[in-house]
Structure 1
Amino acid sequence: MTHRLSRLGLFAVAALAATLVLAACQSEVQDAVPGLAITLSQGGDVIGEGDVTLAAVLERGKPVVLNFWAALCGPCRLEMPEFQHVYDERAHEVTILGVDIGPQWRLGTREQGEAFLAEIGITYPAGTTSDPDVNTKFSILGMPTTVFIHADGRVLRTWTGALNEAKMNELIDELVAG
C-alpha cells in the first residue's frame, strides 16, 4: 500500500513540475516592461550607439523582441541563427535585441559573447547589461528567455526556452497585430 502511495506522490510531484515548466515557457503578461540599460556591442546603427535604454529603443515606435542569452548556453546557441533569419526578414516590423546575461549566470564572459556573435554571423542589435536585477525584473528562470514587447511598452508574453523560427514568427505576428 505504501509503495502505491509513493508512486502516486511521485506522479503528483511530476505533474506539478511539468505544469510549472509549461507555465514558465509561456507566461502572458500585460504589465509595463521594466527599465533596462544595455551596453551595445553591435547594432548601434539601428538603435543608437553605446549605452542605450530599453525605453529609448521602444521610443523608436516598433515592438521589441528582447532575447536574453549566454555564450555558453546550448539552447541559446541553437536559436540565435533562427533569430538572425527572422531579423533579416522582419526588421522593418520589429526590433530584435539580444542581451547577453551570461556573466550573471556564469555562462560566459562579455568577450566570449562578442566572439560568439561574430563566429556565427549575428548582425542584429546585441549587447550586455550590468543590471544586477535583470533576472528578477524580467522573471528570467532559465535561458534563453525572450520577452515580446508592444511599442507602447506593454509586455505581450515572456517565453522561457529556445524558440524556432516558426514559433518566433507566430509570436511576432501576434505582437504586430496589437
Structure 2
Amino acid sequence: MGNVMRGAWRSRWITVTTVLAVLLVACSSAVSFGASDSGSPNGANSGSSSGSSSAGGDAASDLAFTLYQGSEVLGEENLTVGSLQGKPLVLNFWAGLCPPCRAEMPDLQEFYDENKDRVNLLGIDVGPFTVLGNQDSAKALLEELNVTYPAGFTIDAGGIRNYKVLGMPTSVFIDS
C-alpha cells in the first residue's frame, strides 16, 4: 500500500513539476524576451537528472529527427526541432529501455493531452546512443504505453550534445 501511495505521489509531483516548469519558462520568456531588439530569441532552459544546462541557439534548433508515428501526428515524418515554432516546446530525451523514462511517459502523455493546443511536446529516442535500446524497443514502449504525443529518433549525436543531454530522461524547455 505504501508503494502505491508513493507511486501516486511521484506521478503527481512529476506532472506538477512539468507544468510549473513550462509556465515558468513561458512567463520568464515573456519578460526577458519581450523587450528584445532582435525579435528572434533562441533561449532555452533545461533540466535533467544530472543538472541544468541550456541549449545552444541555432545549432540546437537544427536537430533533425524522424517520427515513429510517421506523418500522422505533425504532417511530416522528417523534421527539425526548429520547424516546431509558434508554441513553447518541451523536448524530452528518452530511451526504450530506460526505467525512469518509462515511468514518466504516462505523465508526459497526460500533459500532452491537456496542453497540446498551447505547448508542443516532442520525445526524442536516444537509446541507440546509450545502449538503452534500439528503434524496436522504443516503438514497443510507445505502443505499450499508448503514447500519442510526437516521438521520434535522431541519428545526429552532435545535435544531442548541443542540448547537453547528460542523463535520461532529460527534458528541455524551449521558448516559442
Quote how far apart the aligned CAs of 1:107 are.
0.5
What amino acid does structure 2 have at the position aligned with 1:94? Answer: V
For residues 137 and 123 of structure 1, the distance between their equivalents in structure 2, rounded to whole angstroms, comes to 26
1:25 aligns with 2:51: yes
Match of 1:53 among 67, 74, 80: 80
SS in structure 2 of the partner of residue 123 of structure 1: coil
Partner of 1:138: 163
C-alpha distance 24-131 of structure 1, shift in aligned 2 (>3 A)? same
1:98 aligns with 2:138: no
The correspondence of residues 1-178 of structure 1 with structure 2, limited to 5 A, is: 24-27=50-53, 29=54, 31-32=56-57, 34=60, 35-42=62-69, 44-58=71-85, 61-151=86-176
Quote how far apart the aligned CAs of 1:26 are.
3.5
Quote how far apart the aligned CAs of 1:48 are.
2.8
What amino acid does structure 2 have at the position aligned with 1:65? Answer: V
What TM-score results when the alignment is normalised by the length of structure 1? Answer: 0.66
Deviation string, structure 1 residues 84-124 (Cα, Å, up to 9, x no partner): 00000000110100000001111001111011100011000
For residues 96 and 127 of structure 2, the distance between their equivalents in structure 1, rounded to whole angstroms, comes to 6
Deviation string, structure 1 residues 44-86 (Cα, Å, up to 9, x no partner): 334232111111112xx11110000001111100001000000
What TM-score results when the alignment is normalised by the length of structure 2? Answer: 0.67
C-alpha distance 72-150 of structure 1, shift in aligned 2 (>3 A)? same
What amino acid does structure 2 have at the position aligned with 1:54? Answer: V
C-alpha distance 23-83 of structure 1, shift in aligned 2 (>3 A)? closer
Quote how far apart the aligned CAs of 1:126 are.
0.5
Count of residue pairs brought into register by the alignment: 128
Please tell me whether the aligned partners of residues 43 and 126 of structure 1 are also in contact (alpha carbons under 8 angstroms): no
Q: Extract unaligned runs of 5+ from structure 1.
A: 1-21, 152-178
SS in structure 2 of the partner of residue 39 of structure 1: strand
Please tell me whether the aligned partners of residues 63 and 160 of structure 2 are also in contact (alpha carbons under 8 angstroms): no
Quote how far apart the aligned CAs of 1:140 are.
0.8
> How high is the sequence identity, in percent, across the aligned residues?
46
For residues 56 and 129 of structure 1, the distance between their equivalents in structure 2, rounded to whole angstroms, comes to 15
SS in structure 1 of the partner of residue 139 of structure 2: helix
Find the structure with the greater CA-based Rg. Answer: 1
Please tell me whether the aligned partners of residues 56 and 163 of structure 2 are also in contact (alpha carbons under 8 angstroms): no
SS in structure 1 of the partner of residue 107 of structure 2: helix
